[in-house]
A and B are shown apart, each in its own frame.
Chain A
Amino acid sequence: MRFNEKELVCLSRQPSEMAAELGMRGPKKGDVVKRRLVKLVVNFLFYFRIDEEEPIGALLLEQCRVEREDSQTFSIAFLDEAERKYLFECDSEEQCKEWTDSIIKASYEFMRRNLIFYRTEIHRLTGKDPLEQYGISDETRFQVNSGSQLMARDTSSL
C-alpha cells in the first residue's frame, strides 16, 4: 500500500509533548528489545534509532489496544492482529502510565467521541449548537448519529 512517506517523515519532526527513549520490541517472534526514541505526534507513534533524524517507522494508532503488561511495560496491539504486540519498556511506573494514557487519547476516533459529547452537552445546557458559529455543524465527522452511517460505504460524494 502506498503512502506519502515524505510527508510522514516531515510530520515526525513536529514538536511533541510525548517523546522519550524507551525499550521497544517488535511483534515478530525473535524480535528483541532495542532502545528507541519513541515520539507521539497526532495519531502516529514514530520510533527512531537514538540520535537519528529520520524515523525507522511509524504506527498509526487507530483501531488499536493499549495494555499494561506490568508496572513499567505497556503494549500496543492492533485489532486485526491481536496476538502481535509491540512492547514498550519504560523507566518508571509513572512514565508507563503517562504513555498509556496519552496513546489512548491519541486516536482520531477518541477525539471524535469527545467532541460529540461536548457538543451535545453544550447544546443541552444552552440550547445552542456550538458548532454553528464555525459553520461546521453539518460536517459528517461531527454528527451524533455517525454510528448509523455504517451503511456509509454507499454514500457517494454528496
Chain B
Amino acid sequence: MLSGELKRSFFMERRRKLKTFPPSHHHGQGLYIADSCVSLLGFLIIQKFKEERQKQMRWVNKDSTGRRRMKLNERSVAHYATCDSPPDKTGFLFKKGERNTAYHRRWFVLKGNMLFYFEERDSREPIGVIVLEGCTVELCESVEEFAFAIKFDCAKARVYKLAAENQAAMESWVKALSRASFDYMRLVVKELERQLEEIQDAAGAGGQQARPKPSRRNQVARSRSGASSSSSSSSSLSSSSSAPSMAAVYSAQKMLQDEVQLISGSSRENGVAWSKPPSATANGSAEAAPSCVTWDGCTDAGTVSGCAGDGGRAPPVPPRRLGASLESPVSPDTACFSKLHDWYGREVEELRVQWLQSQ
C-alpha cells in the first residue's frame, strides 16, 4: 500500500522546505501562496487516499479498525427485498445519516423483521437493511417533525432516527415496526396455537372437517346428541347430492388442494412456490405442505386448508368425496325432520371414518 509512505514523504518534504527557506518579505508571500496551494493539494490527495483505502477495506471485508466484517448472504437478502412476496409496509421516510447528520428521503420496505431502504422507489437494489430483532421503537424529540427512533438493546448500538411525512404515517410506522420482530410473531403464533388446542379439546377430539359457518358445527353436535332443533331446517338438503354447503366446502377444498404444491420427501422449501414441478400432487395428503401459496389468495375466510405447521399440528384437509355415496333419503320438502337429521348424522360419521382411514 502506497498511501502511508507517500503521505509521510510528502509531509517530510514540506517540512524540509519550510525549515530551509526562512521567508524574507518578498519570498515569504510567494511561499505563503505556494504553501496554501500545496496544503490544498495535499488535503485533496489525502482525501483520495482515504477513499481508496476504505474501498480496499470493504473489498476485503474489514472495518476501519481492521476487524473482518461479518458475512451475510447479501445477494439473497437483497433479492428478498425486491421479490414478489408482499411487503408488510412501504413508504417514504426520512432517515438520518450516520456520519452526515442530514435527513435523507428514502423509500422503505418492511418485510417480516427486515426493514429495507432504497434510494428511490424504483431502485433495483436496497442501499441497506435494518434487522429488527431486539429493538424498541420510540417517538423522539427532534428538530425534525414526526420523528421516531429504532433503538437496540446491545452495547454501542446505533440509534436509527427516522421521520415520517405526517402524524398518521408516523403512528402507522411506529406500530408496524414495533411488531415486526420474529420473536413477537412467534409469541402470537404460540398463543393462537394454544387457544386453538383449548378450543379443540373442549369440543372433543376429531371432527376436523371444515364447515363454512361455525353454527353448522353446532348443529352437527346437536343433531348427534339427538336433540331436534329447528335451526337445522335452515340447511336445504337436496336428494341428489350432499348438502350444498358441504359440496361448496369440498369443492373449495379441492381447488386449494389442486393448487397446493406437495413437498417431496427429500426437500422442503419455505419460500414462495418453487419452479421445480412437484413429484406428486396433493390430494388428501397426510403431510401438510408448508409452502401453499394459494392460502393467502383464498377469499373465503371460512374455508380452510391444512397448510400450516407440521403434519401433527394442523390436520390435513379431508379427501374430496367423489360423488355422494350417501343418497339422502329425503327431499327438501319432506316433513320428516328426524329422518333428515339421522341421515345428516350418518353422513358426517361416514366422512369422519373416511378421513381417519386416510391418515
Contacts and interface: CB of A to CB of B under 8 A. Distances in A.
A61 B76 CA distance: 9
B179 A65 contact: no
Given A110-B290, A115-B185, A124-B302, A152 B70 contact: no
A116 B192 CA distance: 10
Interface of B: 69-80, 83-93, 108-109, 111-114, 125-131, 133-135, 152-158, 160, 164-165, 168-169, 172-173, 175-176, 179-183, 185-186, 188-189, 191-193, 195-196, 199-200, 203, 210-211, 214, 217, 266-272, 274, 290, 292-299, 301-302, 304-305, 307-310, 314
B77 A140 contact: no
Interface stretch (A17-25, A31-39, A76-84, A87-95): A76-84
B112 A65 contact: no
Given A11-B131, A62-B80, A157-B93, A120 B304 contact: yes
A63 B269 CA distance: 8
Contact of B130 (A4, A64, A120): A4
Contact of A79 (B79, B91, B128, B301): B79
Nearest to A67: B267
A88 to B, nearest CB: 14
A111 B181 CA distance: 12
Interface of A: 1-11, 14, 42-43, 54-68, 78-81, 100-101, 104-127, 130-131, 134, 136, 139-142, 144-150, 152-153, 155-158
4 closest residue pairs by CB, A with B: A157-B91, A147-B296, A57-B71, A2-B128
A63 B186 contact: no
Contacts, number: 290
B192 A157 contact: no
Contacts of B78: 1
B152 A4 contact: yes
A62 B271 contact: yes
**Most chain A C-beta atoms within 10 Å of own C-beta, residue among B78, B88, B153, B199:** B88
A6 B343 CA distance: 66
Nearest to A153: B90
22 contacts: A3-B131, A4-B152, A6-B156, A10-B153, A42-B113, A43-B112, A64-B269, A66-B270, A79-B83, A79-B269, A79-B274, A111-B186, A112-B112, A118-B308, A121-B196, A122-B192, A126-B214, A130-B192, A147-B86, A152-B87, A155-B90, A158-B169
B185 A108 contact: yes
B288 to A, nearest CB: 9
Given A110-B290, A111-B189, A114-B309, A63 B125 contact: no
Contacts of A4: 129-131, 152, 157-158, 160
Contacts of A156: 90-92
Given A42-B181, A108-B185, 8 more contacts: A6-B154, A10-B157, A43-B182, A59-B72, A64-B76, A68-B267, A111-B185, A112-B185
Contact of A64 (B75, B181, B196, B270): B270
A65 B271 contact: yes
B314 A63 contact: no
Given A6-B154, A8-B131, A147-B293, A56 B270 contact: no
Nearest to B288: A117
Contacts of B109: 153
A117 B79 contact: no
Contacts of A68: 266-267
A153 B87 contact: yes
Contacts of A106: 270
Contacts of A54: 70
